Amino acid sequence: YGDVSHVEQISKGTIERRNYRQRLWSLGTEAEWRFNDLISRGGLGPTQMTFGLALDGADTPESSDKPTLGRLWDWGARLGASSLVTGNSLLFHGGVSRRVRFPSLRELYSDALGRFLSNPNLGPEVLIGGELGLTWGLSVFDLQMVMFHQVLSDGIVRISVDASDGKKRQRVNRDRIRSTGFELVASGEWDRIEYTGDLTFQEAWQFHGDGVAGTRPEYEPRIVSRLSLSMPLYRRTTVSAAYQFVGGQVCLNAETGGHDLLDSTRNLDFQLRRRFTFGDRNTFANADALVSVTNVTDGAIFDQCGLPQPGRTLRFQVRLF
């Protein structure tokens, strides 16, 4: 159960107070079956199957001067299975699921300082998806590969609308957003260096109910990848680096009403961390000191229309515990 409240105070000569509240609740159950040996069935070893059901609900008993959201109910379910092959180094896993997400207070009622038109009629998003993958534990590294396909019905997206005081944006439910792709994750050690890398490739399309051809949804890049390296030096000192690549994506331009293309971005971060221990203290006997540089190349990284992330940033941090 969750209870979210938000109080908004606006001063226009007199202070206007607006109260918003949303309640969320969920009830779920899950069953699990284990089979110790399925070698006679295709060479599979220990196998586990799970099946779960959930009932979710939400309402907004307080919504200031805007219409309240009636009590909403929906359900979720998941069926999954995993199985080890002979040798216990290769794990196959997969599952299908149905999940629901109710719109938040911000999505329902926020006007974002006059840039948005609120939409209290938003309905829940329903995600139906399936995945199939394997996890391989090797002597030098661990590898995981997953293929997925997802269909998001009534997805909450932003559109441009003409208002009396100019163009604004509004959140609405669209018919369908479909995405298909795969994820690849690897981690391991090479000499003294620990590394973790991941790659996600997906094709995502947004379909409307008016017969219009599919378009790219906002902020859904085709490729996202990351590589992290970490190496211990001496006396509890560790140096690490991280590189991230995000492919091109589209965003809604509120002024023109059309979609802008955000170029692909590359980000490089460095970090030096050391831990200290003071044996003669009972409190604050440990200290964690960190020096980091983010966005080393000082590149212009836009993850939203017109809102760049900070440039090169130097950060010092000391934590006592």
Closest of 199, 197, 249 to residue 219, by C-alpha? 249
pLDDT surpassing 90 at residue 280: no
> Higher-confidence residue: 305 or 78?
78
* 273 in Cβ contact with 241 (< 8 Å): no
* 302 in Cβ contact with 265 (< 8 Å): yes
Q: How confident is the model at residue 213 (pLDDT cuts 50, 70, 90)?
A: low
217: exposed, middle or buried (C-beta count within 10 Å: 0-12, 13-18, 19+)?
Answer: buried
Longest dimension (CA), the chain: 80
Residue keyed to tokens 């490729």: 223
pLDDT surpassing 90 at residue 301: no
Residue keyed to tokens 């069953």: 31
The strand pairing partners of 203, in sequence order, are 180
The stretch 71-94 carries a mean pLDDT of: 89
Q: How confident is the model at residue 292 (pLDDT cuts 50, 70, 90)?
A: very high
* 162 in Cβ contact with 189 (< 8 Å): no
Relative to beta strand 223-232, strand 249-252 is unpaired
pLDDT at 251: 86
Q: How confident is the model at residue 209 (pLDDT cuts 50, 70, 90)?
A: low
Q: How confident is the model at residue 86 (pLDDT cuts 50, 70, 90)?
A: low
